[in-house]
Structure formats: C-alpha cells, structure tokens
Amino acid sequence: MTGPLSPALRKGLAYGWLSTRRRAGQLVLPVVTTATGAFLLVQVLTLTDSVRRQSAALGDTEQLVRATTLIAVVVLLVGVVEMAVSTTRTVVHRTREIGVLGATGVPRGPVVGALLVEPLVAAVAGAAAGGVVAVVGTGAANLAGLVSADVRPGPALAALALAVGTSAVAALVTSAGPAYRAASRPPALSLTSGG
Amino acid sequence: MATVLDHPAPTAASVVDASGGTRGGGSRLLRFALANVRRRPERFVLSTAGIALAVMAVIVVRTIAAGYATVGSDSLSEVLGSDPVWVVGAEGVRFDPDLDVLLPNGSTPALTVPEGWTAHRQAVGVWAAPGGDVALVGRDDVAPGAAVVSPAAADLLGVAPGARLRVGAADLTVATGGTGTSVTVPVDVARTVVGDRGWWTVTPSAADTGRRDLGALLSRASGIPSTTDASRTPSGRPLAYDTVGGGTSLATFQQAYSAIFASKVTSSTLGLVSVVGLVLGFVIAVSSFLAAVQERRREFGIMSSIGLADEVLYFFLVESALVFVAAYAAGALAALAATTLVVPDVTTLAGWAQAAGIVAAYLPAMAIVGALVPVHRLLQQRPVDLLRDDA
C-alpha cells in the first residue's frame, strides 16, 4: 500500500491485530500447513546442490531442478490455501461482529483490512517458522554430517524471503475475496444471521 | 439463515425423496450439493484449488517418473532385441543419462553356452566422435559396412542417411535407427574403438526356447550365476539376467527394470515433496468439510431429529465427490501444462495419462474419508445438542 494509511484503516488494522491475538488458537492448523510448505521450499532451495546431484543421476539436470522447485512452490501454495479456507471460517464465525462494525458506520475498507490481518499474520508466522526450522535443521544436519549441504547465509535468507513473501501474497490474494464479500453484506443481514 | 435466503437450498421434503429412492433421487442429492456450493462459493473454489494443486504436484512427479520408466524400458529393449538372456560383467552396467543408453562398467565376461545355444557379443562403450561423445554399440546383426545412427547421434555427428562415417579404421554407410545418442556398427569395428567393454545376449536352442529356466540352464553350462530379479546387480562375478523366468511375478522383467528408473524419481526429493503436498491437500479437504459441518449444525440437527441421520452422510459424500472431481480435472490439466513447460524432454502424453490414472485410483478413497471424518463428528452428538442456539 502506498502513501500514509488513513486513520480509519489504521484503526481497522489495529482491531484486526487484537482479534488475531484473541483467536490465535484457531490459526494453529493453517500456520502448521503453511509452515510445512515453507519448510519444504526452503529445504529444497538450500539443498540445491544435492537436488542437482540427484537430478544429474537421472539426466536432464536443469529441467529436474526446475521441476523440484516448482513442486515445492506448489506445495507451499497448498499450505497457504488452508489459510484462505480458515478465513472463510473466520468470516462466518464473526458475521455478527462484522454486522456491528458496519452498523456503527465503519466503512468497508477498514473492515476488509481488519479481516486480512489474521491470514497475513498467520501466513508470515507460519512461513517464517517453517523456513527457519528448515535452515537451522539443514545447518545442524550438515554439522552432524548427516547431509553434505553447503548452507550459505545468502541463499538461505533468499529462500526464507521467497517463502515468506509467496505465503503473504498468496494468503492476501486468496483471502481477499471472502473478506470483501463478508464486509459488503448489509449490516442488517449480518446482525440477524447466526454466528 | 440469511445466506440461505440468498440461495434457497432444497427442502427437507426433497431430501426425503432422495433417500426414499424415488425417481431422480441421485440428481436431487446433486442439486442439494450444488446449492450448498453456491452458498459458500469461495470455500468450494479454495478447497478445490488446494486439492487441485496437490493433485497437480503428484501427477507432475508421476509423469516424470513414467518418462524415465519409458527411457529404462527402451534402453533395455535396445540391448536385448529378441534375446531372452543378458550376461553382464562383474563390474555391472550403468545408465548414462547424457547419452540415454546403458553402458558396461567393465569388460565382457568369458562365456560358455549350452549345446545348440548362440551367444551374441555386443561391444559397447563411449566413442569420442568428432562432434562429441556418442555410445558406440557393436552387434553381430549389423550388416558389414553399415552404421546405424540414432537421430540424436546423427544431429551431433552431422550425418544423413547414405553418408559415409569413419569409425576407427572402418568407412561405413549411415542408416538411421536406434535410441539415445548411439551409433550401432558391426561388432569387430566397435571392438577396435571400445576394446573389451561389452556384454552378451544369448539365444537358446530351438528345443529350449520357451522354457522358464533358461538362466539356470546357462548357469549350469557357464558357471555364471543367473537371476530373474531386475534390481539385482553383479557382486564380484558376472551375472546372467534371465528376462523370461520368474514366472510367479506379475510384472515382466522389462517392467521391473523400468520401475527401477521410475522409483529413482518417486523416491527422490521431488517425490517426497509431492507426497507431502498430497497430504496437505487432504488436510484442506477435511478442514473445509469440518467448517461446513460447523456452520450447518442446526440444519443437520433438524434432519437428525426426524430420522434422516444417514442422509447427512450422503450429502457430504456427494459434496466431497464434487470437490474432488473438480479438483482432479483442474489438477490433471495443470499438471499437463506444467510438465510440458518445465520438463518437455521427459513428458509424453502417455506418461501423463498413466500418471493421471494412478492418482485417479486413490482419489475416491480420499474423497470418502474426507467426508466421513466430519460427518462422524457430527453424528456423535444428539440432535438436541445440534439444535441448541449457542452451539
């Protein structure tokens, strides 16, 4: 987002942050699935040399290394989709709450912003946790002599950044639809429905 | 529920019809499932997308594995021709991924064959040709003065059919054929370049053809151990592979040999990552159905309280089938696109179809379990608990 945030949006984001902390327990599953995807992606990217050796034994090295990276990214996206499924659950749970916000005059933007804080925080936390475990785990396995991987800080950080960035963008893109739909419903409808 | 007002779902009466087996029961179940999909379109799209990505990951890996299985199978066919027995030296053989051919690791073993059998010596090795390395194969069924050049080798050497090719001291006429990057020449010509390296293929006598103990017969005459197990490698002594014995096995020797190539892919990092992807896809399916159950507790409470508990299961099975069928179709097509773009050299339509078939075999089980888990949780509770307002 460019430019300074409007006060209403800032409040929306702060509200989203508070509710994310309150609902941390609900986020365990999406965080774990995202962390698993990020773990695999970062591991594949930090173990490129060994993936390359494995691919060379089969032939078509470059194509197989590309395929391995593609599959790792796809698995990360599968993990992030769980985050978006969780957002659809969240908006149903919080239907009345969203209705109250709408009824008290909070515009749609801050409500959408508040609803997107949860998937964003969970995606970043999950991807960072999975990525850090992958880097530390690979480094430790390397020191223990279990794998012969040259874990360099530069590529490891780049892999971590890629995992976190991809997760954050994918979580926002996939959660935006459900959040927008929930924030666009007439407050009267939200207030009279369940949840 | 307000959302129901937006998209009215079929009524309980139609449910009774569906369960009562009246005409159109199946289509009513499908309509009910579609109505529920319309109530939460984003969840349907998301869970379908998640499972589709997982399906895509597995099909991509299986397509690559099938590609390598074909390579393994072709390279073995090229070696064996129609002979049923293959005798390799103590150092064994290896597959060269750059030349796409099998190569011996050492010299051709000494071989004595039973009375009436014929042993065909093949001299095989790498020839440092002017245009680059090619596999040079010497066979006794190549006409004197001929060189059979594979299309890849013809490109590398810059020769066309009818052209002259100098191999060692021999001047040969080019014909095209064969797999990988190989040039097949008469065996004596090849031996001047690759020396002793090679192996034997053996044709049994007319009387012994069709027997399933050819390996054992050859072992008796030659003292070389034999095996029908494609995965066995020589251990310090030459080894004879009997490709028609081992009659109890369902897979032929050739299938078993190509499976070794495929398993190198499925057991690699690529294979392991894709399996985790599939597990995550299943988690998404279950989690999305659990969410759907939670939101429709009251609806199912009403159905349970009028004795329609079993129908709840049918609804979820149909919904689950919808999600999995849509995800499978999208995932399979995405996998075809991804393999064609990323690994064009090993992708074949047949390999993709085979991979898609394998995945299709275990999706129904995933769809059924994915629907059963949430419904089981639901049916554990009494209808009155499901109907409570604070539920």
Q: What is the pLDDT of residue B25?
A: 67
Q: What is the pLDDT of residue B378?
A: 79
Closest CA to B147 of B169, B125, B164: B164
pLDDT in tens, A41-56: 888 888 777 777 777 7
B386 to chain A, any CB pair closer than 8 A? The answer is: no
- More confidently predicted of B13 and B96: B96
Does residue B46 carry a pLDDT above 60? yes
| In-domain check, residue A79 | yes
B391 to chain A, any CB pair closer than 8 A? The answer is: no
Least confident of A125-129, A130-134, B12-16, B385-389: B12-16
Q: What is the pLDDT of residue B389?
A: 59
Q: What is the pLDDT of residue A177?
A: 85
What is the residue-wise DSSP string for B49-97?
HHHHHHHHHHHHHHHHHHHHHHHHHHHHHHHHTT-SEEEE-TT-EEEET
Contacts of B338 in chain A (CB under 8 A): 70
CA of A128 to nearest chain B CA: how many angstroms apart? 18
Least confident of B126-140, B295-309, B352-366: B295-309
CA of B332 to nearest chain A CA: how many angstroms apart? 14
Inter-chain residue contact B343 with A64, CB threshold 8 Å: yes
Does residue B24 carry a pLDDT above 70? no
Q: What is the pLDDT of residue B390?
A: 55
Inter-chain residue contact A85 with B56, CB threshold 8 Å: no
| In-domain check, residue A2 | no
Does residue A142 carry a pLDDT above 80? no
What is the residue-wise DSSP string for chain A?
--SPPPHHHHHHHHHHHHHHHHTGGGGHHHHHHHHHHHHHHHHHHHTHHHHHHHHHHHS-HHHHHHHHHHHHHHHHHHHHHHHHHHHHHHHHHTHHHHHHHHHTT--HHHHHHHHHHHHHHHHHHHHHHHHHHHHHHHHHHHHTTSS-----HHHHHHHHHHHHHHHHHHHHHHHHHHHHHHHHS-HHHHHHS--
Q: Which residue of chain B comes nearest to A64, CA vs CA?
A: B343
A67 to chain B, any CB pair closer than 8 A? The answer is: yes
Cβ atoms within 10 Å of B230's Cβ, excluding its own: 21
CB environment B158-174: b (16+ within 10 A), e (fewer): ebeeeeebebbebebeb
Q: Which residue of chain B comes nearest to A74, CA vs CA?
A: B53
Inter-chain residue contact A88 with B345, CB threshold 8 Å: no
CA distances from B144 to A173, B192, B346 (A): 68, 14, 35
CB-based contact B203:B120 (threshold 8 Å)? yes
Distance CA B323, CA B183 (A): 52
Q: What is the pLDDT averaged over residues B153-165? A: 89
| In-domain check, residue A111 | yes
Per DSSP, what are the bridge partners of residue B226?
B240
For chain A, what is the domain count? 1
Distance CA A174, CA A83 (A): 8
The amino acid at B105: N
Inter-chain residue contact B97 with A178, CB threshold 8 Å: no
Per DSSP, what are the bridge partners of residue B314?
none
Residue B226 CA to chain centroid, in angstroms? 28
Contacts of B335 in chain A (CB under 8 A): none
pLDDT band with cut points at 50, 70 and 90 for residue B7? very low
* Window B:37-66, CB contacts with A under 8 Å: 40, 42-43, 46-47, 49-50, 53-54, 56-57, 60-61, 64
Chain A / chain B CB contacts < 8 angstroms: 137
Q: Which residue of chain A comes nearest to B339, CA vs CA?
A: A67
Q: What is the pLDDT of residue B333?
A: 96
Q: What is the pLDDT averaged over residues B75-87? A: 85
Per DSSP, what are the bridge partners of residue B133?
B128
CA of B236 to nearest chain A CA: how many angstroms apart? 23
Q: What is the pLDDT of residue A150?
A: 66
Contacts of A47 in chain B (CB under 8 A): 269
Closest CA to B167 of B149, B185, B154, B179: B185
Does residue B194 carry a pLDDT above 80? yes
Does residue A1 carry a pLDDT above 50? no
CB environment B94-131: b (16+ within 10 A), e (fewer): ebbbebbbbbbebbbbebebeeebebebbbbbbbebee
Q: What is the pLDDT of residue B15?
A: 46
Does residue A125 carry a pLDDT above 90? yes
Tokens encoding A101: 């916000």
SS3 B166: strand
pLDDT in tens, B273-291: 888 888 888 888 888 888 8
- More confidently predicted of A178 and B340: B340
pLDDT band with cut points at 50, 70 and 90 for residue B208? confident
B8: CB partners within 8 A, 6+ apart:
B35
Residue A56 CA to chain centroid, in angstroms? 33
The amino acid at B135: A
| In-domain check, residue A35 | yes
Of A67, A75, A193, the CB nearest to B1: A193
Residue A55 phi, psi (nearest 5)? -70, -35
ipTM of the complex: 0.79
Q: What is the pLDDT of residue B249?
A: 53
In which domain, by residue range, is A91 found?
7-17+26-192
Least confident of A71-85, A151-165, B14-28, B367-381: B14-28
Contacts of A181 in chain B (CB under 8 A): 42
What proportion of chain A, given as a percentage, has pLDDT over 90?
Answer: 12
pLDDT band with cut points at 50, 70 and 90 for residue A149? low
Of B42, B344, B346, the CB nearest to A181: B42
CA distances from A19 to A116, A119, B243 (A): 11, 12, 67
| In-domain check, residue A1 | no
Does residue B38 carry a pLDDT above 80? yes
CA of A38 to nearest chain B CA: how many angstroms apart? 11
Inter-chain residue contact A74 with B100, CB threshold 8 Å: no
What Rg do the C-alpha atoms of chain A give, in angstroms?
A: 20
Contacts of A28 in chain B (CB under 8 A): none
HEC string of B1-13 equals CHHHHHCCCCCHH
Inter-chain residue contact B345 with A74, CB threshold 8 Å: no
Inter-chain residue contact A59 with B264, CB threshold 8 Å: no
Q: What is the pLDDT averaged over residues B37-62? A: 87
Tokens encoding A174: 């996939």
Q: Which residue of chain A comes nearest to B59, CA vs CA?
A: A71
Looking only at the bridges linking them, the beta strands covering B132-139 and B182-186 are parallel
Q: Quick one: CA dihedral B283, B285, B291, B296, positive or negative?
A: negative
Does residue B342 carry a pLDDT above 90? no
Inter-chain residue contact A78 with B57, CB threshold 8 Å: yes
Per DSSP, what are the bridge partners of residue B183?
B136, B149
Q: Would you say the pTM of this structure is higher than 0.90?
A: no
Closest CA to B244 of B256, B259, B235, B233: B256
Q: What is the pLDDT of residue A87?
A: 80
CB-based contact A195:A98 (threshold 8 Å)? no
Tokens encoding B330: 């999208």
Distance CA B277, CA B294 (A): 26
| In-domain check, residue A87 | yes
Inter-chain residue contact A58 with B2, CB threshold 8 Å: no
> What's the mean per-residue pLDDT of chain B?
83
pLDDT in tens, B84-107: 899 999 988 888 877 888 899 988
Inter-chain residue contact B47 with A85, CB threshold 8 Å: yes
> What's the mean per-residue pLDDT of chain A?
83
CA of B172 to nearest chain A CA: how many angstroms apart? 30
Tokens encoding A136: 């530390």
| In-domain check, residue A90 | yes
| In-domain check, residue A166 | yes
Inter-chain residue contact B270 with A68, CB threshold 8 Å: yes
Q: What is the pLDDT of residue B317?
A: 86
B203: CB partners within 8 A, 6+ apart:
B82, B83, B84, B117, B118, B120
CB-based contact B121:B195 (threshold 8 Å)? no
**Number of helices and strands (H, E) in chain A?**
8, 0
